[in-house]
């Protein structure tokens, strides 16, 4: 018997030319965790983010990513569905949220 394909629950967003933020769709936490990756075009200008529980509105992770081009993070202890929101970011900044990195 051959196993079927593994389905990845993931979404991403990119800050547009006339915007300072974006948000992903909701992704269910698989195995109690989700992964986020934030990228930005200039390594010394910040990009703020938050991960929000779409059921109760609770923010489970937030911050401002300043130094570097890429910020990966794993968030554990989750049980609901979540979205990633970027704000105060340069155009071209992007966010990924998924149940696998």
pLDDT at 8: 67
Contacts with 16 (C-beta within 8 Å, 6 or more apart), sequence order: 22, 91
Model pLDDT for residues 69-84, shown as the tens digit of each residue: 999 999 999 999 999 9
Across residues 20-35, what is the average pLDDT? 95
Better pLDDT: 20 or 2: 20
Contact by Cβ (8 Å): 99, 10: yes
Contact by Cβ (8 Å): 65, 38: yes
Better pLDDT: 72 or 43: 72
Q: Which two tokens stand for residue 31?
A: 């195995």
- Go through the domains of the chain in sequence order and give each one's CATH number: 10-98 (2.60.120.380)
pLDDT at 2: 54
The share of the chain scoring above pLDDT 90, in percent, equals 84
């Amino acid at each position: 018997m051959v196993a079927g394909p593994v389905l990845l629950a993931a979404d991403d967003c990119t800050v547009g030319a006339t915007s300072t933020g974006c948000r992903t769709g909701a992704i269910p936490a698989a195995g109690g965790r989700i992964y986020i990756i934030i990228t930005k075009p200039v390594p010394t200008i910040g990009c703020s983010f938050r991960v929000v529980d779409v059921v109760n509105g609770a923010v489970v992770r937030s911050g401002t990513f300043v130094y570097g081009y890429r910020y990966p993070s794993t968030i554990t202890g989750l049980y609901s569905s979540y979205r990633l929101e970027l704000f105060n970011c340069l155009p071209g900044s992007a966010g990924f949220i998924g149940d696998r990195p």
